[in-house]
Amino acid sequence: MATGKNIRTYFDGKWHDGDVMVMRAADHGSWLGTTVFDGARYVDGLAPDLDRHCARVNASAEALMINPTVTTEEMVQIIHDGLKAYPADAAVYIRPMYWAIDGGHLAVMPKEDGATGFAVCLEEVPMAAPDAATTLTRTRFRRPVLEDAVVNAKAGCLYPNNARMLAEARAKGFGNALVADALGNVAETATANVFAVRDGEVFTPIPNGTFLAGITRDRHIRNMRAEGMTVHETVMSFADFHAADEVFLTGNLMKVTPVTAFDDTTYPRGPVAARLLEMYWDWARSTG
């Protein structure tokens, strides 16, 4: 089921209107989960960091032993061609994806020189409302390590674990889950990277190989440091978040989401999250 509306699909070398069927029952990705994707945004005629998202889907494919078949430059051009069908003020979610078609050794491995499926899905998905926010709770589920799962890829096979986290959080009456790594330190949430503010300084979990340090996360850190703000990438505990003055999430889909509660700790809508969103779009407009 689609997330948004007004869908366009790039498949078999051309753009199609609608949610086109792209995968067959015997494709390796269908029954053994060798699928990767990435997500970018088109808002007000801008597609910030699109090249980085396209490069990352190729890197994700290689991590899953899938053969990427489209260069970053080609992918960027394909996406820009597809976006021409949307009005400049549309908010579009951009999702390039690969999947393995042929099975290799014992069927489980993708074939080393096997065929690869490629598609791009464009969907109109609105940006978050100005008053949007979420709440967090702990979950018993954790982020895996590289020895357990392909955590160095944005792979579809990782997301059932995230879905369990979200389901547990929703059952407790919260919007998202604050997730630990294998050692019990905070890694991220079920759907986004997480930041805390204390005494005017910003803190976020240091990338340790258990979660994807997002492209939008990196862009925000660069923007904050350019503005003279102090940002620490460090080991963080759940206690650090209970002690925070402000907490917010960052991710491609909504860019910045304020957090108003973590279990029984509540937060105001802080100034850093608001300023961060302003800085992001100022940067995006300045780079075209």
pLDDT > 90 fraction of the chain, expressed in percent and rounded: 95
Burial of 105 (0-12, 13-18, 19+ CB in 10 A): exposed
Say which residue the tokens 């753009």 belong to.
Answer: 15
Once rounded to an integer, what is the mean pLDDT over residues 219-232? 98
User: How far, CA to CA in Å, does 228 sit from each of 137, 202, 222, 270?
Assistant: 31, 11, 10, 18
Q: Is 150 helix (H, G, I), strand (E, B) or coil?
A: coil
Res. 116 pLDDT band, cuts 50 70 90? very high
Domains in the chain: ranges and CATH? 5-124 (3.30.470.10), 134-287 (3.20.10.10)
Residue 2's pLDDT is what? Answer: 67
Residue 213's pLDDT is what? Answer: 95
Residue 288's pLDDT is what? Answer: 74
Once rounded to an integer, what is the mean pLDDT over residues 84-92? 95
pLDDT > 70 fraction of the chain, expressed in percent and rounded: 99
Question: Is the model's pTM score more than 0.85?
Answer: yes
Residue 275's pLDDT is what? Answer: 97
Q: For residue 138, give both structure tokens.
A: 């702990």
